[in-house]
Amino acid sequence: MLLVMSVTKIAIFAAEKVEGPGQLYALSACLMDADSGRVLYEKEGAVHRANASTTKIMTLILTLERADLNDTVTVSKRAARQPDVQLNMNEGESYRLEDLCYSLMLESHNDSAVAIAEHVGGSVEAFAKLMNEKAEELGCTQTYFITPNGLDETDGVNFHGTSAIDLARIMSYCVMRSPKTDEFLKITGTSEHTFTDLTGKRSFSCHNHNAFLQMMDGALSGKTGFTADAGYCYVGALKRDDRVFTVALLGCGWPNHKSYKWTDCKTLFSYGVDNYDYKEAPKPIGLLEYPVTDGAAENGDPYETPLAYLKEANHEPIRLLLRSDEKLVQKRQISFSKTAPVELGQECGKVCYYIEHADGTMDLVYCAGIYSENEIRVKDPGYYLRFLFTTFFV
């Protein structure tokens, strides 16, 4: 078996060293390319930590995907008894689900979160199960949700929390890939929302407490959080030109350090904006030609060596944010003996795409198979007899 390896590189990057974003206050942090899900920077990004009300981005996206915002929600005793921060609903009152979603995200009301969870999932426990299933579906590996509001909780198995990488991944889904992205952005980006209960007797006004929406151009969405265990937390998204970044911060100070999260957030987003851009990707390998020993030519000439045509299958467009000191690399591996027979659709190797870093290490992006586009038979005795018959008698 002959193995041929060839490497194609795109030499369009400056060979300069790029420094990291600098010191952060947060115990755990992540900067992510929201489009690809690639982690651009992390600090203890995979550590499971309490995450407070940043949990509510999952509560909202599940609600948007599973329920009608015009639904009527009736408040249970359990919902009405939730601790501050709360809307101060009373047991038996009814509200429009959409209004409670604004209460959930703008004011971070814990009673609204439980009322929503019970309406959508049937119970808090059933809704938490849906939350964990969704997290697993999104590729989260360090997430375990118990409550829909993010209050500190344990259940004998684990404590309620996630990791900075998982939280950034959930936000990336919310602002880029969910079928309800537009609705999510509308609710989380609203400055104020007023509403009443369904009797019209009680009126409420909600104000968005996500101050970061006014701190940087392109701020899309975000959610703050605080509990005694979690400290100050934040998850947010920012769009600059055609680039979308998400940031997650856990354990970003405790009282009286409420502003630490904004400092870290600006540091990480600025690092992403200043250092990452979309770069040209390697093109598909195109059609490869290899002469095949002992192969039967289609025209029947025994003196002609036929060619096997190989092609990369299912080439996926590569769209990645890269630093100036990173390269996209294409590696081609041909595992093809160049002898007959060759079957139509026969796998003859693969082509893989990598990100090469300044230190020479590489991260795999994806691989695609290389397959034969034609069939070549062996030159058996019958092949020669047919050639002689055609040459002398036809």
Q: Model pTM?
A: 0.87
- Provide the 8-state DSSP code for 329: E
Which of 385 and 252 is assigned the larger pLDDT?
A: 252
Residues in the chain: 394
Residue 73 to residue 108: CA distance in whole angstroms: 17
280: confidence class by pLDDT, cuts 50, 70, 90: confident
Helix (H) or strand (E) holding 165: helix 164-172
Q: How high is the mean pLDDT of the chain? A: 91
pLDDT score of 7 more than 60: no
pLDDT score of 177 more than 60: yes
Residue 108 to residue 139: CA distance in whole angstroms: 26
The mean per-residue pLDDT over the stretch 304-311 comes to 91
Which of 394 and 80 is assigned the larger pLDDT?
A: 80
Q: What integer pLDDT is reported at residue 73 of this predicted model?
A: 98
pLDDT score of 15 more than 50: no
Catalytic residues: 53, 56, 108
pLDDT digits (tens, 9 = 90+) for 347-362: 999 999 999 998 999 9
pLDDT score of 228 more than 50: yes
Q: Which residues are registered as beta bridge partners of 291?
A: 307
Angle between helices 110-121 and 124-137 (to 10 degrees): 80
pLDDT score of 4 more than 70: no
pLDDT digits (tens, 9 = 90+) for 90-107: 999 999 999 999 999 999
